[in-house]
Structure 1
């Protein structure tokens, strides 16, 4: 699926009101760690371009946030 295949017709445009009320949220301090992951996972992220480490971090953050939601409900 490409970006052009995604139907975004139900998403309102980001107007001046949105940006006037937006809040800048900076990530917390990052730490450097050594982590063992499966080779196929590493290769998949690395094959999807630069900043693959940021993408791995984002995937882990999404998983952690969803797990927190489920634990709190």
Structure 2
């Protein structure tokens, strides 16, 4: 894999908190926090599920992230059938 980043990582690593200009960052107000929501990442499991060739071919034809789409379809199915997730 080629690293095409033009970032000067050594310079970035040498910055201190005082070197970082935060003047353009908006303050975090009560309004901001009242509109936010708590989100916790879900642990993903890798499982082996038999899928017929035609169904798998269809998911593959939907793009490179076919595994994510299959997982999303399974989650939608489970939610539609009121399975506690």
Measured against the shorter chain, the TM-score band is 0.5 to 0.7
**Pairs within 5 Å for 1:1-73:** 21-23=35-37, 25-68=39-82
CA distance in structure 2 between the partners assigned to 1:26 and 1:50 by the alignment: 26
Point out where structure 1 has 5 or more consecutive residues left out of the alignment: 1-16
Q: Give TM-score scaled by structure 1 length.
A: 0.58
Alpha-carbon displacement from aligned partner over 1:22-68 (angstroms, at most 9, x marks no partner): 43635410111111011100000001111110000000000000100
Unaligned runs of at least 5 residues, structure 2:
1-30
Larger proportion of helix:
1
Q: How many residues align?
A: 51
Using CA pairs below 8 Å that are at least 6 residues apart, which structure has the higher relative contact order? 1
